[in-house]
A and B are shown apart, each in its own frame.
Chain A
């Protein structure tokens, strides 16, 4: 399959129940649902600016409840950038990222030029914190990737997370907003308006 230049694929990995879907949904739809539904696999699309034109940001939300090597390999080989999510309330969820990181490393060869974000989600649940910020940072340093603590519930650092991820991509010049300042959400609204006026 020829590489589609205006498709930029981000894959979100992490253990079950750490809030992968919540993060993605908060970013894409701006909403937070307090339900508890495991994901099989979902893909969301968002138009962003890339090299002074537009391209589609494709976010793949994977399943955390069961690791199927074949599916995981497929996602990794197709992905351009990766978000590794753990929950700060569960040390175990951070542990589980290790084999996934190794897998990425094995398939991509080197992680030098690949944007990877290590994300500690649920930063609003300070009371149940098991993983200190410093530990997350230390892990990120070991993996030579960026680190951030987020909360999909309180919408803290969610947009920043994706912005930073795109900023890590050195091969292309990408940003979330087409005009540099407006967010994706606004942009979509604008696009709709634009269409209306044309019609």
Chain B
């Protein structure tokens, strides 16, 4: 019993000891725990607050970003608008230049024929015309280098502020005075044209008597080269085998005699006429339409993209206009002689033959095919021929297209753009059920024409072998979506629009470039025939709002047009001009 009591007591003791032990440490620890909890809660609270503020900041940033994006969009639009305006202005510039060229020709022939109608005053007033062509060229190179932005830096700094309108405002507040001074000396030597453009503050404009203070000088200072100046011809003497026309005197070179040929512009001259050969040497003027047997695609194409020869665009337009319901379009050939004649007219003619007068559409398709087939090098070029063939023969569609894209990108620009233009056109033809010319049929017809061979003179076996492979390439090219081609054929939609507007069938100006005939080169001499001593014509003209959009030619046009109206009264030639 006692032992049991003792035992119980011991147990009680040990329990007590344990309870004591438990009671001892718990309070501070519990306190600590509570403190910890409190800290934790505070931290949570703080981070919760931070979160809320962060969220606020985020929304703020979002709205800011939205605002900026809107600004960016606006800015982009404005840049687009500017670019379009510039292109329009350039188109207008070119058109006017061509017209001026024609006017020049007209006036000079008029001068020679019935000089009675022209009094001295008018003559001298018009003398600058002959100076202009060279001046315009100088101006062009000037402007091209200075006027255009090479790259548009689309970084944040540019977009930080949309202040395009400010420039407009400043232009409204200032007026621009363009001055052109043309000096025509009596000996017919140096013809000088100097134009300056000044911006004048608005207040001076309102009071005309006050001397205008030039605020800034626009670059233009154009000078025609003196006879010995400018780019000189690089003459090489040769023996005449095939008779050609001497540029300065217009007479033929005689067989077996010596003649000189400029290596750059290919102008031909008698040795005795050498000094009178018109300067400066212009390598582009003579290269294409006149001697064209070896003219490559690049020679026919314009210098700016899309580099598509006008002949191609012109024919395609007409074919799309009335040919999309003809059975066997491009398959049936036109009358051989008519095809040759029309092609000749299109390439060499000063005026474009109206294609709507060509009754048989197959003659037009014939011209297009003939033009493409008879290029010295096929459209897909000799050196890429193999690459195209191999790309088209890859079984996997995606791989094949990928390789094709790569190969297309290696084409020279004129070839690539022309190909793009053709492909868009042929896709249209293939979609027109009436023609019965689906993709396969077109590919068979155009295979040899566009793909050709890898060498200029393939042997018969190669011809046979290649002929079976060529259509595959065209089929593949036609399967490429139109949008891809559009980026080359119509680099932007505005260009497409302008192409649609400017290429009208009744256009009288040769589309293969500015009209350049040997007669033009003679013109430099005409002013000298006047008995006037050195005369200065200073023409103040016009407030031109936006300098960028008007270049020298535009201003000259303003000067010429009144005179031209006078001419209209007694010349019937002017009816051939479109004003």
Contact = CB atoms under 8 A, between A and B. Distances in A.
Contacts of B444: 37-40, 63, 65
Interface residues of A, number: 23
Contacts of A65: 330-333, 444-445
A73 B360 CA distance: 28
Interface string A34-72: 001111110000000000000000000001111110110
B137 to A, nearest CB: 41
A36 B460 contact: no
Contact of A36 (B441, B463, B464, B468): B441
Interface stretch (A91-99, A130-138, A140-148, A150-158): A91-99
B441 A66 contact: no
Contact of B333 (A37, A39, A66, A68): A66
A79 interface: no
Nearest to A95: B335
A34 B441 CA distance: 15
Contacts of A74: 460, 463
B218 to A, nearest CB: 54
Contact of B360 (A64, A67, A92, A96): A92
A16 interface: yes
Secondary structure class of chain A's binding surface, majority of residues: loop
Contact of A15 (B330, B333, B373, B458): B333
A16 B332 contact: yes
A71 B452 CA distance: 12
A86 to B, nearest CB: 12
B448 interface: yes
Given A16-B333, A64-B333, A71-B463, A38 B468 contact: no
Contact-residue size bin, chain B (C-beta under 8 Å from the other chain): 20 to 34
Grouping DSSP codes into helix (H, G, I), strand (E, B) and loop, the B interface class, with mixed when no group exceeds half, is helix
B328 interface: yes
Contacts of A40: 444, 447, 467-468, 471
A70 B336 CA distance: 17
Contact of A17 (B332, B448, B471): B332
A85 to B, nearest CB: 14
Contact of A99 (B327, B336, B437, B464): B336
B232 interface: no
B440 interface: yes
> For B332, B334, B447, B449, which residue has the most chain A Cβ atoms within 10 angstroms?
B332
B448 A68 contact: yes
Interface of B: 327-328, 330-336, 360, 362, 369, 373, 436-437, 440-441, 444-445, 447-449, 458, 460, 463-464, 467-468, 471
